[in-house]
């Protein structure tokens, strides 16, 4: 057994090793490329294509053609243009939800792991509940009661989804606590805040980044699902889930209205999942382990 | 064993209590006065102050929060979940009318998922790093990544449109169950395939599997009788816990296929601001989920006699 295969070995979190591992894994490289393409489209695309809400009724429900590669919708709007604008909304919402989950989970996990005792016990019971209860049902109720809007979907999905982050951070904190360098730092007399910031946060970061990447795919699906139900993006916003819902009435006559945004969502989620799997292998950490 | 059950029962009651309080509080702080919204909808005009006051008195909305909650809770434990604002029916009746379609869907989707994932997971692990494994893994990746609302429409396009015998909406018959069950089962199958593969690969390294092999047992017996049994433990947990996933998915799949289930009841109630129904569906969901979790825990003991529930309690 070579040193690399030794499960006890802790791989240092180095950017070069991540890049090398990703290059060796063509599947996750492909995932990275898909995500990068969507990200580039989201950033520069809207400036290159026209107004997503411009369209003439005389031009309605045109099948894909040279002028409209993905056809037009019932209001004569170009589906490709809407898809490009939708990339920005879909990606921004997913990233925002994931970041809020990460921050809440990070704080709760740090507090639970560092304080222990009753605080830990109480916080972990909340986490157990969040991890097991149907999150979409809960998010649906929260977002629905607050009123349909993208902001409320963001809020709802963030509130129901930080549990796994908290668990991963907590378990990393518990293992870092046992490290000799923590005792050394304490003996050196550094402040508690500095101890957490310089010794705990960097060591917890690796698994959290992997978890966030793996989570992003699920977040895209959840946010698009809630928008599909009509709770998120409101017309005429070209969010991808909402686009599928808008096209559903014309499923038989204009299937591209459902298929184009549907494939776009699936591709983005495949991208995040492949990238997450690759990062997990590269960083040699499986954050999903503690969530079972 | 009894001590364990008692403890689990107590923690379930705490969870259910917390869920009911949180939902009730959420509904109460919701923006907009439900009385006014609902009356406006019913009367098609702005309701007078007296009408609003009468509605609020009728539904107990003029009481302070804790009084409302305690009275709701008192009724709920006896099975009375209140009256829908709209349907003129009790929440209990509505849920009883919608629950069977969802249970049917959940069971059918789980059957589909297990039927796909168990052979796929075993094949993936046994024929590791062969084309068969790659196909199964690619399928699993597709399954976890495809949005189920799009998959549903895709199935309608490729199956129901050419074969008009397959209905795309409603509930009650077996044919109406096929497309929704496949839609919902695909994602679940993907999760189970991945897990079973990983779990079986791990088990195949165990010393007792080596022992079984060196005794000269046939590979089929080694895998089916020795390895699979312990490899299935994490899988059972996941299938059990995936009940949450099934309920999540049911919400969307029921809307796609127009099935009169708990999910579509909840979505409609949320949009109509029919809060007693929302509250009731959430409570029923919570009860279903608490009971499944308990059953999952008990099933461990059956599958793996090494697990001591008393110790873990």
User: What residues in A contact B26, CB-CB < 8 Å?
Assistant: 141-142, 145
Q: Could A228 and B161 be called an inter-chain contact, meaning their C-beta atoms sit closer than 8 Å?
A: no
Q: Look at residue B308 in the predicted model and tell me its pLDDT.
A: 60
pLDDT beyond 60 at B310: no
Question: Would you call the peptide bond into A236 cis, given omega within 30 degrees of 0 as the criterion?
Answer: yes
Taking only the tens of pLDDT, chain A with its 292 residues reads 333 444 333 444 556 666 676 677 778 888 888 998 999 988 888 778 877 777 777 777 778 887 777 877 778 788 888 889 989 999 999 999 999 999 999 899 888 888 878 888 888 888 877 877 778 888 888 888 888 888 889 989 998 889 888 888 888 888 777 778 877 888 887 877 777 787 777 778 878 888 888 889 989 999 999 999 988 888 888 889 989 988 888 888 888 888 899 999 999 999 999 988 888 877 766 666 555 4
Q: Look at residue A271 in the predicted model and tell me its pLDDT.
A: 92
ipTM: 0.84
Q: Which two tokens stand for residue A44?
A: 């520069």
Touching A: B residues 261-290, CB under 8 Å: 266-267, 270-271, 273, 275, 278, 282, 285-286, 289
Q: Are A63 and A254 spatial neighbours (Cβ–Cβ below 8 Å)?
A: yes
- B19 close contact with A: CB closer than 8 A: yes
User: What residues in A contact B237, CB-CB < 8 Å?
Assistant: 292
Higher pLDDT, A247 or B238: A247
Q: Could B241 and A258 be called an inter-chain contact, meaning their C-beta atoms sit closer than 8 Å?
A: no
Q: Could A265 and B144 be called an inter-chain contact, meaning their C-beta atoms sit closer than 8 Å?
A: no
Neighbours of B192 (CB within 10 A): 25
CB pairs under 8 A between A and B: 125
Neighbours of B32 (CB within 10 A): 10
* pLDDT (tens digit per residue) in B109-148: 988 998 998 889 888 888 888 888 899 989 999 998 999 9
* pLDDT (tens digit per residue) in B7-62: 878 878 888 888 888 888 887 777 767 777 777 777 777 778 888 888 777 777 77
Q: CATH second-level architecture of A40-61+68-267?
A: Orthogonal Bundle (1.10)
Q: Look at residue B50 in the predicted model and tell me its pLDDT.
A: 81
Comparing alpha-carbon positions, the chain A residue that sits nearest to B279 is: A141
Q: Look at residue A4 in the predicted model and tell me its pLDDT.
A: 40
Q: What is the mean pLDDT of chain B?
A: 81
Q: What DSSP line would sit under A208-231, residue for residue?
A: HHHHHHHHHHHHHHHHHHHHHTTS
Q: Look at residue A263 in the predicted model and tell me its pLDDT.
A: 93
Q: Could B252 and A225 be called an inter-chain contact, meaning their C-beta atoms sit closer than 8 Å?
A: yes
User: What residues in A contact B300, CB-CB < 8 Å?
Assistant: none
Q: Could A147 and B156 be called an inter-chain contact, meaning their C-beta atoms sit closer than 8 Å?
A: no
Q: Look at residue B151 in the predicted model and tell me its pLDDT.
A: 92
Which residue, B71, B16, B267, B73, is CA-closest to A145?
B267
Provide the CA A123 distance to its chain's centre, in angstroms.
Answer: 23
Higher pLDDT, B205 or A270: A270
Q: Could A224 and B251 be called an inter-chain contact, meaning their C-beta atoms sit closer than 8 Å?
A: no
**A168 to each of A14, B26, B74, how far by Cα in Å?**
20, 29, 39
pLDDT beyond 70 at B305: no
**B100 to each of A253, B96, B108, B187, B259, how far by Cα in Å?**
33, 7, 12, 22, 11
Residues of A with CB under 8 A from a CB of B: 129, 132-138, 140-142, 144-148, 217, 221, 224-225, 228-231, 241, 244-245, 248, 251-252, 255, 258-259, 261-263, 265-266, 269-270, 273-274, 292
Neighbours of A44 (CB within 10 A): 11
Question: Domain locations in chain A?
Answer: 40-61+68-267
Q: What CATH number belongs to B94-269?
A: 1.10.3720.10
Question: Domain locations in chain B?
Answer: 15-80, 94-269
Q: Look at residue B306 in the predicted model and tell me its pLDDT.
A: 66
Name the residue facing A266 among B147, B157, B238 (closest C-beta): B147
- B233 close contact with A: CB closer than 8 A: no
pLDDT band at B313 (very low <50, low <70, confident <90, very high): very low
Give the least confident one: A14-28, B88-102, B150-164, B297-311.
Answer: B297-311
Rounded to 5 degrees, what are φ and ψ at A72? -125, 160
Q: Are A132 and A114 spatial neighbours (Cβ–Cβ below 8 Å)?
A: no
Q: Which two tokens stand for residue B87?
A: 């349907």
Q: Could B282 and A141 be called an inter-chain contact, meaning their C-beta atoms sit closer than 8 Å?
A: yes
Q: Which two tokens stand for residue A125?
A: 């019971």
Q: Look at residue A98 in the predicted model and tell me its pLDDT.
A: 93
């Amino acid at each position: 057994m070579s040193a690399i295969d030794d499960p006890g070995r802790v791989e240092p979190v180095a950017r070069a090793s991540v890049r090398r591992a990703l290059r060796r894994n063509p599947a996750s490289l492909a995932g990275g490329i898909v995500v990068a393409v969507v990200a580039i489209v989201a950033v520069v695309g809207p400036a290159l294509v026209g107004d997503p809400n411009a369209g003439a009724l005389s031009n309605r429900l045109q099948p894909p053609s040279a002028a409209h590669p993905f056809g037009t919708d019932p209001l004569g709007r170009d589906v490709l243009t809407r898809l490009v604008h939708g990339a920005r909304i879909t990606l921004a919402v997913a990233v925002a939800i994931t970041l809020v989950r990460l921050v809440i989970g990070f704080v709760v996990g740090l507090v639970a792991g560092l304080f222990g005792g009753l605080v830990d016990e109480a916080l972990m019971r909340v986490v157990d509940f969040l991890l097991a209860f149907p999150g979409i049902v809960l998010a649906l109720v929260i977002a629905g009661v607050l009123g349909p809007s993208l902001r409320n979907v963001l809020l709802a999905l963030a509130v129901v989804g930080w549990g796994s982050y908290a668990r991963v951070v907590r378990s990393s904190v518990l293992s870092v606590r046992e490290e000799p360098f923590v005792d050394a730092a304490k003996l050196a007399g550094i402040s508690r805040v500095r101890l957490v910031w310089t010794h705990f946060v960097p060591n917890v970061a690796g698994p959290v980044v992997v978890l966030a990447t793996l989570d992003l795919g699920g977040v895209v699906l959840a946010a698009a699902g809630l928008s599909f139900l009509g709770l998120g993006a409101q017309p005429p916003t070209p969010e991808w889930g909402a686009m599928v819902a808008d096209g559903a009435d014309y499923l038989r006559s204009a299937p591209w209205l459902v298929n184009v945004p549907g494939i776009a969502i699936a591709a983005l989620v495949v991208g995040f999942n492949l990238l997450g799997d690759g990062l997990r292998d590269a960083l040699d950490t499986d954050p999903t382990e503690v969530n079972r | 064993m009894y001590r364990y059950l008692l403890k689990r029962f107590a923690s379930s009651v705490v969870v259910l209590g917390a869920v009911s309080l949180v939902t009730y509080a959420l509904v109460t702080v919701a923006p907009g006065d439900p009385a006014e919204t609902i009356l406006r909808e019913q009367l098609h005009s702005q309701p007078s102050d007296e009408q609003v006051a009468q509605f609020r008195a009728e539904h107990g909305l003029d009481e302070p929060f804790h009084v409302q909650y305690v009275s709701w809770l008192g009724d709920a434990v006896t099975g009375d979940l209140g009256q829908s604002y709209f349907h003129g029916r009790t929440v209990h009746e509505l849920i009883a009318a919608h629950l069977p379609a969802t249970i049917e869907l959940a069971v059918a989707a789980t059957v589909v998922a297990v039927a796909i994932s168990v052979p796929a997971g075993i094949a993936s692990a046994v024929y590791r790093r062969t084309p068969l494994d790659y196909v199964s893994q690619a399928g699993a990746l597709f399954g976890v990544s495809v949005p189920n609302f799009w998959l549903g429409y895709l199935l309608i396009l490729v199956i129901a449109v050419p074969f008009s015998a397959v209905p795309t909406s409603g509930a009650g018959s077996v044919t109406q169950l096929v497309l929704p069950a496949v839609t919902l089962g695909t994602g679940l199958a993907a999760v189970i395939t991945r897990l079973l593969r990983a779990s079986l690969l791990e088990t195949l390294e165990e010393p007792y599997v080596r022992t079984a092999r060196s005794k000269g047992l046939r590979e089929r017996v080694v895998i089916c009788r020795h390895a699979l049994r312990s490899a299935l433990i994490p899988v059972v947990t996941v299938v059990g816990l995936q009940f949450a996933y099934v309920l999540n998915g049911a919400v969307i799949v029921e809307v796609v296929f127009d099935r009169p289930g708990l999910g579509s009841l909840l979505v409609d109630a949320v949009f109509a601001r029919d809060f007693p129904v929302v509250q009731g569906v959430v409570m029923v969901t919570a009860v279903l989920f608490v009971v499944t979790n308990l059953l999952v825990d008990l099933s461990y003991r059956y599958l793996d006699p090494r697990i001591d529930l008393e110790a873990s309690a």
